[in-house]
Each structure stands twice: as structure tokens, then as C-alpha cells.
């Protein structure tokens, strides 16, 4: 372990030294750098494109904190900055010494915004990232969602390659991966359970969110830890110019946020809260007065500009769900995250961000039965230190490097209560380390590459015993002291993407990435639940590995106001987990004794056609895909469909802006049903009908489709107050989509088998009132 | 168990459930031999029932297998060749069910042979049944707690068959001592949302069986699969059985005790 830490230190020092040398050689050039911000709110502009009109082959992007730097020979230049939803910025600069220039962008007429903008006009053609989608938070408010609560996770599910975990559910699957294979970050802190109310809401209060980017497997080297995707959600920093109050009243939940400067232009804050109140109505009814069901969450963020070179951010999230039935049953769960970040401009071209992150997910179950009671608790806690350097080496190369160390403390379900014996299960610790370096290389005006390497390591630590199994037999038990280290897994993760611009409107892309996952979600049910538990690597559980190869093609028309992007991917998965039949994953003394291991594969074609301008904007997405697993001990060791294998997946999204007051939007979705296992036959044991099964997941749920509409009315602004109403109808034509299918004896004729389909949500109307002043 | 609560609360609150019967294209079925047999500590004879599985869309008549050779042996050397009575029921002649003895089953149908064995566990006394009232939303629901004290030794498994006014509760109630080894049981026989409700003035009868680990696994797997759909339930498959040779069903040596109680 010490070796790794020392190694990390050497690695960093070497890179910093090399950069210093480079820097001193490059003195004949001058550096233009600074921050890019929204003029009205002071929010940092992420991934804005900075170009020099005289040197069309050059171009850099601003980083997550709005910082940019570009080194140029002495001269006069025209600087052009573009960002979607903002007016183009143009300025003449004379560079005869290093220059610090803060760029303020003015918000464009919002009518022309599109919801998803992996391409901000031509710029998509410039960026090497593949399978990347960024959601524009202002515009998603127009897309209809169930219960009228705008939600980034549900809007993401309308994109190719992203599948919903179920109707109305905020859980998602990316390119055939499991729901636990998405790295969900909120201001860099991992969120272990991103859903409220069993998935009907996500933990993201869109009032507090600035930007959300989903990377489908080809993530740059600074990200790691999950196989399928990275969803990087960034909270707003808070307006540093003006105070704002924002709120929304809905049928099920309401939210309120306050933002404003603490010291104008120096520091600002945002505080945003949300709560559902279905429980208030429930308490009024006799029939459900003991039902408890609500959630709340709170987002907080503040930043402080120490001086021109140093800035500090503190952000936090706290959310909790409560569900219960009187005092006889209750479950509550929630996430807590906290992030402290320190941005430092080390030199004119070197930007450093240091983050200290805390993340906690836990759940508690209480069962009370007369005098006896029974509790289950589980939690996962992380302390995470990160350093991330961005070095603007020259106009062609931007280097990104750093390290990340996470100390995990994972306590699986532990039991207590009057009827329970002392529970031998204890928490386990694990140390996850990563080092990475990548380079964004603009080889020519048309060819750009992003290549890099991440090395991740996971060290088992003490706290509890580790059992070692070989062919189902316990062969060894390893006990480690609390602070000592056991086995360390080290895995290299090479990453590469390339983009070649064929013409102004056409580009081709290709990428390869290996991703490693050291934490695994244990769930043997067909749906996720707050009580699913995480487990780290062990002597039996090896890091999960995914290799993804993808190629893409982007074609624009009419000055890129229409765009078609196509991607093909193939993904190979190793060390996948599943359970033996009948595994009691809660109560087993060692859950690892019930694990099965295997491999997986997923491949598909994704099409996304977008209309980015005009009265009518929107997109059509289509995914053709396959995802399979092969686990020793399941389906006679043959390949079988993963449950989320849905052959066709279509989404059509349209937003029609009638005028500056009214807009109408609609969503239509269609997808093949989940791969499930239906019985082929039946038999009788002691008078009860049991069902006979053949191959796993060889059947299909009926296909799903549905249309939603929503109408938004923006009231004329009165002085400072801006109000809007949103009316939406979910499932317009009342389609009964199958939620579950059961086989049972027909009560009228016991010799006959009935197939019963249960469906949810027909015609869910909602109204939301929003205000801002 | 947790998931059943979730779906009950959710569906209860949103009143979202909308049920209808549908037709689905189903795969053809391969008819297999079904063995349903048990040796108990009650006085014999004991029966082994043989039948064939049938397709989903066919009537549940389950053709009896009447031409089999069925033999039960025990570890004391007793060999008992069972006699076919009727409807696929094969009756023992002389074998005795005693705790600690291992029973070996051999079934021969045409040229196919199936075998299984099961060792009868020690009996754990069912002391009584206790009524467990459960007040919620202005009404009282009831369930029954089988009162027994689990022995000190780890690894006991139990199955409970509950009848409410002679109607069989279809829930597979199986308990083990993973968490409460050596303690008095306080866990009620709580059915799934679709099972029968226990009401005031009902007569509830409970059969308690002390079962082996494989029998527990068989019924527990069925229990886990019973909550199909997103509310819970594991992906279904044929439950792990102790029968070797490719038959469905279970061969179980277990003890039997029965009690009943009036809900008042």
C-alpha cells in the first residue's frame, strides 16, 4: 500500500516537473487565460468553446469551473467564444504579454434552446468525446414527465442507449449494463441511490442543478469506478449578482430555492429544498391514515473567491425517504454528500482543483410486532480525496492528470432486535486509488484525439473476516486487523477517442475504453429497492471489467440546424455477479457463499436525429440493441438475455413554441418488453400448482408505449416576478402497460391457468405552478 | 418480505393497480416426471405421488404415472417396494419414519431412474399458537405466531402450512434460524398481499414441519419467486431439488405437528 502512495507521489512530481520544464521552454509564447461566466448570474460556463478566428485549427474548451487558457505567439487575434443558449462572444485581443481575460456571456433568446445538446451547432463536430449527452436544465422543464416534476434522470431515458428501469422510474440502464454500473456524481460526490419514493422521483432537484452530462462508457480518464456510464451532475453555484427566489408548487411536491451573493462578485450561495406531501392527504383519510410516505431533500452550495487565483466551493446534499405503516413497519433511507473544493490557478496554464468529498448512503428498516421488534441497518460511507490538474500545454495539447483516493466503509445489512442473536457481521473497509493522465490533442484542424490511461487499485482492508471459496467450498478464512491491508487489485484502464471532421457538417468518431468497477450492488430481485446493499471486492469478488469499442458518425444539414448522429458499440463484460437460486442475501452469515460469477456482452446501434432550431425543436432517438449474460450455474451455463435487454427503443420528443407565452410539448416512447422468464408448464405438489420453467429470460413482457403532453404558459413578467404554469397529462391515450404479469389458478375454474397483467398509471394529470423573483 | 411491504404501500396509496387477464405466446413444454413424496414421524403408511407436468394452456389434470417401480430404503437396511394404489399414489408397507434416519428413494419409470435421499431432523416442539393483532388504519389485522424454541444447535429449518377455515394459505412459510438461533420464535405467519386474510372468529390451523436444508431451499426458492414483477421476486426457475435424474418435485423426510386456534 505504501508503495502505491509513494508511487502516486513520484508520478505527480514527475509530471509537475515536466510541465515546469515545458513551461520555461515556451516563453516565446504568451498565455491568454481567465474564466467564462454568465453575465447575469456569474455562473461558470462549462465546456464553452474558445477559438481564434485567425487560427481556425486551434480551439480549447473551458473546464468544469469555467477556466480556459491558450498559449499563442505574440500578435493580434480575434477571440471567439461560443456556448449553447448564449450569444456569440467576439473580442479583439493584443497579446504582447500574458493576459487574464474574464469573458461574460449574454444569455440568448431562450426560445431557440434545445433540450439536449451534444452538439452546440458545429462544435459537436470538434469534440472527440463519444456517446456524450449534456442536458440543458432550462429547457427540460418543457418536456412532460409524470407528476409534473422535471427530472434529469427521466429526460435522460429518452436518449439512445439509455433505458428506463421501469415505467415512471428514475433508474436507468446504459448500453446493456446494470443499474449499479452507472457512476452518478453530484458535485463529484458519488450518489449511491439516486431515487426517491422507490424510483418515481430522482434525488436531483432540478432547481439546484446547473448541468448534467452523461457519458456512455467512453469517459475520459479522470472518471472511473463504474462500467457503463458516468452521469456528472453539477449544482448551481448561486447567483453572485442578484438575489433570486425560485419555487414550484405541484400536486405531489413543492420546492423552493434561494440564491444570491454573499459579497457581490466575491461569494454567493444557493439553498434549495423539496418535499412531497402525499402523506398530508393520507393522514386525513381513515383508510390510509397510518401510511407514511414522503421524501425531502436539501441542496446547499456556497463559493468564495479568495483572490484572482484561488476559489473555494462548499456544497452539500441531504435527502431522506420515509415509508411506513403505523409503528409496525417503517423504512427510511437517504444519501448525504458533502464536497469541499479548492480551485487554484497554479500558473497561467496550469489549473488545479483539489476536492475533499464525503458521501454516505444508509437505510434502516424497523419491524414491530407486539413487544418484539426487529431492525435492519446498512450503510456505505466514503471519504474521498481528489486532485485534478488541467494543463494547457500548447494550443494543440491540453493535459489532464491527477489522482483519487477513496476510503470506503461498507456495512452490509446488520440485524438487531428482541428476537435476534448478536449479529456477527461487521463493516469492511476498502481503499480505492486511481492515477490518471490524458491528453486532448488537436492534431490538425480536423482531427482531434483524447487519449489517456487510468490505473485503478482496490485494496481490501480489515474490519471483518473474508471467506475464500473454491468451487462452493470454504477453503480459507482471512482475518485482517482494522487498519491492515489484504489483497490489492490493480487494473490499467486505457481510454481513447478520436474525431475526424470530414466536412463542416460531417464527422466520424471512434473510441475504445476499459472501465473497472470495484463496488458491486447485491440484488437478486427483478427490481431495485432501497434495501439493495453494496459490497466491495474481496478474495472471491474480483473487479468487474468492461471493454467498449464504438464508432460514430455525425451528419448535419442546413447549417447544422438538423443533425443525425449514429453510434455503434460493442461491449464485453467480465466478472459479473449473480446469485444462486434461493439465496437469502439478507440473512446469510456470508453472502459471498451464494454468489455466482460470469461474463456478459452487449452491442447495439444508436440513432439520434435532432432538430435544433425553429418553432419546433426536438429529437427522435432509436436504439437497436442486445445484452446477454453467461453465468456459471444459471441457464445450464448458456448465454441468456439480461432482463433489461430490449431490442427496440424509440423516443420522440417535440417542443413547439407558439409564442413567447405558450409552448406545447409531447413525448412518445415505444420499447420492446423486458426479457423475462414465463413458465412453460405446470405441476402439482401437495395440492398447490407450481410452474415449470425452461430457459432464463427467454420470454418478453408485452411491448410498452405511451404518449405524454404538456403545455407551459409563461405569464408576462411583472416587475421582478416571473410566473409560469405547466399542465401535463401522462399517458394520453391510457395505454395499459404491463407492470407485472402473474400466472395463477383461475378462481372460477381451478384447472385453468390465468395470466394476469397488472398495470399502473393511466392518465396521470398534473399541474405545476412556478415562480421566480 | 420487505418488497411485499413496499408494493402494498405503493399500490395501496396510489390505487394504481389495474388488473386484467391477458393471452401470451408461450413456449412449448417438455413434460417431466413430478415426484411429491414425504416420510414423516407419524405412523405410516406414507405415500409417494408420481405425475407428469403439463403445458400452461392445458387443463391441470396432471396425468398420474402408474407404471413405475418405487422403492424406499432406510439406513437400517429396510427395503420397501411401494405398491401403486390409485391416481399415481404409491403406498409404503413397512418403512418407519424415525428422527435421524436417512431415507433413500428410487423411482424407475420405463428406462429412466430417479433417486433422492433425506434425513429426518429432530423434532422441535410446537408449544402453542399465539394471536398477533396488527392494528393499522383503524382496523385490526391478525396473524398467527407459531410458538417454539429453536434448539441451540445452528441449522434448523421449519415449514408451516396454514389453513384458514380449511382454506389453504398458498404462501410458502419457511423459517430457519440464521438470525434467531436458540431463541423462541416471534415471527408470525404473514401471508403475501394476495393470500388470505385472517379475520375475527376464523379458525386457523397450522401444521409445523421440521425439515431438512434441501427442503427448506426448495420452498424458500418458491417463496422468493412468488412476488413476480417489480414489487419483488427473483427471476423464476425450477427450484433446486434433492431429486437426481431430472424430475421435478421434492422428497422430504420431516416431522409433523398440528395445532389450531380460534381468532378472538
* Closest by CA position to A489, among listed A529, A537, A457: A457
A385 inside domain:
yes
Do A29 and A156 lie in one domain? The reply is no
- Domain at B123-230+255-262: CATH architecture: Sandwich (2.60)
Distances (CA, A) of B192 to A324, A566, B4, B128, B208: 17, 47, 7, 23, 19
pLDDT of B72 reads 96
pLDDT of A86 reads 83
Which residues from A are below 8 Å from B238, CB to CB? Answer: 692-693
Alpha-carbon torsion (A124, A126, A130, A134), positive or negative? negative
Instruction: Tell me the C-alpha distance between A233 and A194, whole Å.
Output: 11
Which residues from A are below 8 Å from B221, CB to CB? Answer: 581-582
Instruction: Tell me the C-alpha distance between A33 and A14, whole Å.
Output: 25
Do A459 and A430 lie in one domain? The reply is yes
Residue A750 burial (10 A CB sphere; 0-12, 13-18, 19+):
exposed
DSSP A91: E
pLDDT of A147 reads 72
Angle at the Cα of A180 from the Cα atoms of A176 and A182, rounded to 5 degrees: 70
pLDDT band at A126 (very low <50, low <70, confident <90, very high): low
Do A80 and A174 lie in one domain? The reply is no
Q: Is the pLDDT of residue A631 over 60?
A: yes
Residue percentage of chain A with pLDDT more than 70: 91
Do A69 and A206 lie in one domain? The reply is no
Residue percentage of chain B with pLDDT more than 70: 89
pLDDT of A207 reads 86
| A580-595: average pLDDT | 81
- Which of B31, B136, B232 is facing A325, going by the closest CB pair? B136
Which residues from B are below 8 Å from A323, CB to CB? Answer: 6, 9
Q: Is the pLDDT of residue A542 over 60?
A: yes
**Helix, strand, or coil here: B250?**
strand
Instruction: Tell me the C-alpha distance between A629 and A620, whole Å.
Output: 29
Kindly state the helix (H) or strand (E) to which residue A13 belongs, with its residue range. Answer: helix A2-25
**Range with lowest mean pLDDT among A134-138, A564-568, A640-644, B41-45:** A134-138
A103 inside domain:
yes
pLDDT of A330 reads 85
Q: How many domains does chain A have?
A: 2
Do A322 and A451 lie in one domain? The reply is yes
* Closest by CA position to A413, among listed B2, B87, B83, B177: B2
Interface test with chain A among B13, B59, B154, by most A beta carbons within 10 Å: B13
Which residues from B are below 8 Å from A198, CB to CB? Answer: 6, 10
Closest-CA residue of A relative to B143 is A369
**Helix, strand, or coil here: A559?**
coil
A119 inside domain:
no
* Closest by CA position to A567, among listed A511, A505, A502: A511
- Which of A581, A676, A683 is facing B248, going by the closest CB pair? A683
A86's CB contacts (< 8 A; 6+ apart) are: A38, A45, A48, A105, A106, A107, A108
Interface test with chain A among B10, B28, B56, B131, by most A beta carbons within 10 Å: B56
Instruction: Measure in Å the smallest separation between the Cα of A273 and chain B Cα atoms.
Output: 24
B20-65 residue pLDDT tens: 899 988 889 899 999 999 999 999 899 999 999 999 988 888 889 9
Do A684 and A569 lie in one domain? The reply is yes
pLDDT of A720 reads 81
Interface check for B87 against chain A (CB to CB < 8 A): the answer is no
Closest-CA residue of A relative to B233 is A525
Interface check for B45 against chain A (CB to CB < 8 A): the answer is no
pLDDT of A128 reads 59
Q: Is the pLDDT of residue A22 over 50?
A: no
Of A388 and A2, the structure prediction assigns the larger pLDDT to A388
Residue percentage of chain A with pLDDT more than 90: 39
Do A91 and A172 lie in one domain? The reply is no
Which residues from B are below 8 Å from A331, CB to CB? Answer: 2, 5-6
A458-495 residue pLDDT tens: 999 987 788 899 887 888 888 888 778 999 999 999 99
Which residues from B are below 8 Å from A677, CB to CB? Answer: 235-237
Phi, psi for A18 (deg, rounded to 5): -60, -40
Of A325 and A356, the structure prediction assigns the larger pLDDT to A356
pLDDT of A3 reads 43
Domain B33-119 listed as CATH 3.30.160: no
Averaged pLDDT of chain A:
85
A124 inside domain:
no
Of A728 and B233, the structure prediction assigns the larger pLDDT to A728
pLDDT of B13 reads 45
Instruction: Measure in Å the smallest separation between the Cα of B151 and chain A Cα atoms.
Output: 13
Q: Is the pLDDT of residue B197 over 50?
A: yes
A60 inside domain:
yes
| A114-140: average pLDDT | 61
pLDDT of A750 reads 86
Phi, psi for A23 (deg, rounded to 5): -60, -45
Q: Is the pLDDT of residue A113 over 60?
A: no
Do A677 and A554 lie in one domain? The reply is yes
Do A191 and A84 lie in one domain? The reply is no
| B231-257: average pLDDT | 89
Of A111 and B46, the structure prediction assigns the larger pLDDT to B46
A230 inside domain:
yes
Cross-chain Cβ contact A742/B13 below 8 Å = no
pLDDT band at A412 (very low <50, low <70, confident <90, very high): confident
Do A144 and A103 lie in one domain? The reply is no
A88 inside domain:
yes
pLDDT of A327 reads 75
| CATH classification at residue A525 | 2.40.170.20
A493-522 residue pLDDT tens: 999 999 998 888 889 999 999 999 999 988
A553 inside domain:
yes
Interface check for B149 against chain A (CB to CB < 8 A): the answer is no
Do A108 and A137 lie in one domain? The reply is no
pLDDT of A127 reads 61
Instruction: Measure in Å the smallest separation between the Cα of B248 and chain A Cα atoms.
Output: 8
- Which of A580, A584, A760 is facing B16, going by the closest CB pair? A760
| A398-402: average pLDDT | 93
| CATH classification at residue A46 | 2.60.40.1120
Kindly state the helix (H) or strand (E) to which residue B220 belongs, with its residue range. Answer: helix B213-225
- A168, A148 in Cβ contact below 8 A? no
| A174-203: average pLDDT | 88
Do A536 and A674 lie in one domain? The reply is yes
Instruction: Measure in Å the smallest separation between the Cα of B74 and chain A Cα atoms.
Output: 23
- Which of A328, A634, A750 is facing B134, going by the closest CB pair? A328
In this complex, how many residue pairs, one in chain A and one in chain B, have their CB atoms less than 8 Å apart? 242
Owning domain of residue A94: 2-113
Q: Is the pLDDT of residue A156 over 80?
A: yes
pLDDT of A20 reads 44
Interface test with chain A among B235, B242, B243, B248, by most A beta carbons within 10 Å: B235
Of A57 and B85, the structure prediction assigns the larger pLDDT to B85
B contact residues 214-233, partner A, Cβ 8 Å cutoff: 217-218, 220-222, 224, 228-233
B94's CB contacts (< 8 A; 6+ apart) are: B44, B78, B80
Instruction: Measure in Å the smallest separation between the Cα of B99 and chain A Cα atoms.
Output: 22
Instruction: Measure in Å the smallest separation between the Cα of A657 and chain B Cα atoms.
Output: 33
Residue A410 burial (10 A CB sphere; 0-12, 13-18, 19+):
buried
Residue ranges of chain B that CATH labels 2.60.40? 33-119, 123-230+255-262
Amino acid at each position: 500500500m505504501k508503495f502505491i502512495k509513494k508511487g502516486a507521489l513520484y508520478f505527480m512530481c514527475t509530471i509537475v516537473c515536466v510541465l515546469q520544464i515545458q513551461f520555461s521552454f515556451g516563453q516565446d509564447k504568451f498565455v491568454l487565460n481567465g474564466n467564462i461566466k454568465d453575465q447575469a448570474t456569474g455562473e461558470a460556463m462549462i465546456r464553452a468553446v474558445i477559438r481564434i478566428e485567425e487560427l481556425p485549427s486551434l480551439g480549447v474548451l473551458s473546464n468544469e469551473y469555467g477556466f480556459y487558457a491558450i498559449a499563442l505567439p505574440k500578435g493580434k487575434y480575434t477571440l471567439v467564444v461560443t456556448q449553447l443558449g448564449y450569444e456569440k462572444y467576439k473580442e479583439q485581443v493584443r497579446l504582447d504579454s500574458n493576459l487574464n481575460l474574464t469573458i461574460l456571456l449574454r444569455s440568448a433568446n431562450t426560445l431557440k434552446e434545445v433540450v439536449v445538446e451534444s452538439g452546440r451547432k458545429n462544435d459537436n463536430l470538434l469534440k472527440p468525446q463519444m456517446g456524450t449527452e449534456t442536458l440543458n436544465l432550462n429547457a427540460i422543464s418543457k418536456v412532460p414527465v409524470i407528476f409534473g416534476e422535471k427530472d434529469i434522470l427521466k429526460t435522460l431515458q429518452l436518449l439512445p442507449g439509455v433505458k428506463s428501469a421501469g415505467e415512471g422510474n428514475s433508474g436507468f440502464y446504459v448500453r446493456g449494463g446494470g443499474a449499479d454500473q452507472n457512476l452518478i456524481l453530484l458535485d463529484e460526490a458519488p450518489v449511491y441511490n439516486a431515487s426517491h419514493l422507490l424510483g418515481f422521483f430522482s434525488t436531483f432537484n432540478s432547481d439546484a442543478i446547473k448541468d448534467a452530462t452523461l457519458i456512455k462508457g467512453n469517459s475520459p480518464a479522470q472518471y472511473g469506478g463504474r462500467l457503463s456510464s458516468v452521469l456528472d451532475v453539477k449544482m448551481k453555484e448561486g447567483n453572485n449578482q442578484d438575489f433570486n427566489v425560485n419555487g414550484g408548487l405541484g400536486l405531489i411536491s413543492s420546492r423552493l430555492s434561494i440564491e444570491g451573493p454573499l459579497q457581490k462578485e466575491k461569494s454567493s450561495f444557493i439553498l434549495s429544498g423539496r418535499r412531497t406531501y402525499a402523506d398530508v392527504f393520507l393522514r386525513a383519510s381513515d383508510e390510509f391514515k397510518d401510511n407514511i410516505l414522503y421524501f425531502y431533500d436539501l441542496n446547499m452550495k456556497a463559493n468564495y473567491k479568495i483572490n484572482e487565483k484561488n476559489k473555494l466551493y462548499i456544497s452539500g446534499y441531504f435527502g431522506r425517504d420515509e415509508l411506513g405503516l403505523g409503528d409496525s413497519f417503517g423504512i427510511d433511507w437517504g444519501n448525504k454528500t458533502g464536497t469541499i473544493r479548492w480551485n487554484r490557478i497554479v500558473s497561467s496554464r496550469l489549473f488545479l482543483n483539489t476536492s475533499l468529498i464525503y458521501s454516505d448512503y444508509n437505510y434502516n428498516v424497523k419491524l414491530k410486532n407486539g413487544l418484539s421488534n426487529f431492525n435492519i441497518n446498512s450503510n456505505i460511507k466514503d471519504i474521498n480525496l481528489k486532485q485534478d490538474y488541467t494543463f494547457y500545454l500548447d494550443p494543440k495539447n491540453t493535459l489532464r492528470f491527477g489522482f483519487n483516493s477513496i476510503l470506503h466503509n461498507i456495512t452490509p445489512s446488520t440485524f438487531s432486535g428482541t428476537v435476534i442473536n448478536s449479529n456477527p457481521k461487521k463493516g469492511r473497509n476498502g481503499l480505492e486509488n486511481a492515477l490518471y493522465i490524458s491528453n486532448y490533442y488537436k492534431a490538425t484542424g480536423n482531427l482531434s484525439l483524447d487519449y489517456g490511461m487510468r490505473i485503478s487499485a482496490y485494496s481490501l482492508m480489515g474490519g471483518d473476516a473474508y471467506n475464500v471459496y473454491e468451487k462452493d467450498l470454504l477453503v480459507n478464512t482471512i482475518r485482517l486487523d482494522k487498519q491492515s491491508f489484504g489483497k490489492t487489485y490493480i487494473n490499467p484502464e486505457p481510454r481513447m477517442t478520436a474525431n475526424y471532421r470530414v466536412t463542416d457538417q460531417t464527422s466520424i468518431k471512434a473510441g475504445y475504453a476499459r472501465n473497472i468497477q470495484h463496488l458491486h450492488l447485491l440484488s437478486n430481485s427483478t427490481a431495485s429497492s432501497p434495501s439493495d446493499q453494496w459490497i466491495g471486492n474481496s478474495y472471491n469478488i474480483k473487479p468487474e471489467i468492461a471493454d467498449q469499442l464504438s464508432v460514430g458518425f455525425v451528419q448535419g444539414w442546413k447549417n447544422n440546424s438538423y443533425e443525425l448522429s449514429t453510434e455503434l458499440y460493442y461491449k464485453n463484460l467480465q466478472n459479473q455477479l449473480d446469485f444462486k437460486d434461493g439465496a437469502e442475501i439478507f440473512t446469510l452469515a456470508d453472502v459471498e457463499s451464494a454468489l455466482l460469477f460470469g461474463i456478459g456482452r452487449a452491442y447495439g446501434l444508436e440513432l439520434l436525429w435532432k432538430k435544433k432550431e425553429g418553432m419546433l425543436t426536438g429529437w427522435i432517438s432509436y436504439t437497436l440493441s442486445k445484452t446477454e449474460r453467461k453465468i456459471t450455474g444459471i441457464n445450464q451455463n448458456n448465454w441468456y438475455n439480461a432482463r433489461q435487454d430490449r431490442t427496440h427503443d424509440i423516443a420522440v420528443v417535440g417542443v413547439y413554441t407558439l409564442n413567447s407565452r405558450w409552448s406545447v410539448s409531447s413525448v412518445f416512447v415505444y420499447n420492446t418488453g423486458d426479457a423475462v422468464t414465463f413458465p412453460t408448464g405446470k405441476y402439482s405438489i401437495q395440492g398447490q400448482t407450481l410452474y415449470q420453467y425452461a430457459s432464463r429470460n427467454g420470454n418478453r413482457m408485452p411491448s410498452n408505449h405511451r404518449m405524454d403532453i404538456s403545455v407551459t404558459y409563461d405569464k408576462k413578467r411583472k416587475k421582478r416576478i416571473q410566473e409560469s404554469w405547466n399542465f401535463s397529462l401522462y399517458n394520453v391515450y391510457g395505454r395499459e402497460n404491463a407492470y407485472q404479469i402473474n400466472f395463477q389458478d383461475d378462481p372460477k375454474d381451478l384447472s385453468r391457468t390465468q395470466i394476469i397483467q397488472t398495470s399502473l398509471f393511466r392518465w396521470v394529470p398534473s399541474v405545476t405552478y412556478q415562480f421566480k423573483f | 418480505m420487505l418488497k411485499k411491504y413496499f408494493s402494498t404501500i405503493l399500490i395501496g396509496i396510489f390505487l394504481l393497480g389495474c388488473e386484467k387477464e391477458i393471452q401470451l405466446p408461450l413456449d412449448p413444454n417438455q413434460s417431466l416426471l413430478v415426484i411429491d413424496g414425504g416420510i414423516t414421524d407419524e405412523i405410516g403408511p406414507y405415500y409417494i405421488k408420481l405425475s407428469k407436468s403439463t403445458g400452461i394452456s392445458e387443463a391441470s389434470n396432471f396425468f398420474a404415472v402408474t407404471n413405475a417401480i418405487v422403492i424406499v430404503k432406510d439406513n437400517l437396511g429396510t427395503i420397501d417396494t411401494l405398491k401403486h394404489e390409485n391416481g399415481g399414489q404409491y403406498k409404503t408397507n413397512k418403512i418407519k419414519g424415525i428422527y435421524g434416519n436417512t431415507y433413500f428413494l428410487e423411482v424407475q419409470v420405463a428406462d429412466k431412474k430417479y433417486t433422492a435421499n433425506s434425513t429426518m431432523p429432530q423434532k422441535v416442539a410446537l408449544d402453542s399458537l399465539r394471536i398477533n393483532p396488527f392494528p393499522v388504519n383503524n382496523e385490526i389485522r391478525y396473524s398467527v405466531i407459531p410458538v417454539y424454541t429453536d434448539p441451540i444447535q445452528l441449522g434448523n429449518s421449519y415449514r408451516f402450512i396454514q389453513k384458514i377455515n380449511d382454506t389453504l394459505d398458498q404462501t410458502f412459510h419457511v423459517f430457519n434460524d440464521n438470525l434467531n438461533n436458540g431463541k423462541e420464535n416471534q415471527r408470525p405467519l404473514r401471508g403475501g398481499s394476495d393470500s388470505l386474510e385472517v379475520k375475527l372468529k376464523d379458525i386457523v390451523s397450522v401444521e409445523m414441519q421440521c425439515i431438512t436444508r434441501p427442503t427448506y431451499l426448495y420452498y424458500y426458492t418458491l417463496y422468493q419467486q412468488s412476488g413476480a414483477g417489480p414489487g419483488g421476486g427473483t427471476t423464476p426457475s425450477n427450484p433446486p431439488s434433492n431429486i437426481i435424474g431430472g424430475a421435478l418435485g421434492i422428497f422430504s423426510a420431516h416431522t409433523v405437528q398440528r395445532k389450531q386456534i380460534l381468532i378472538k
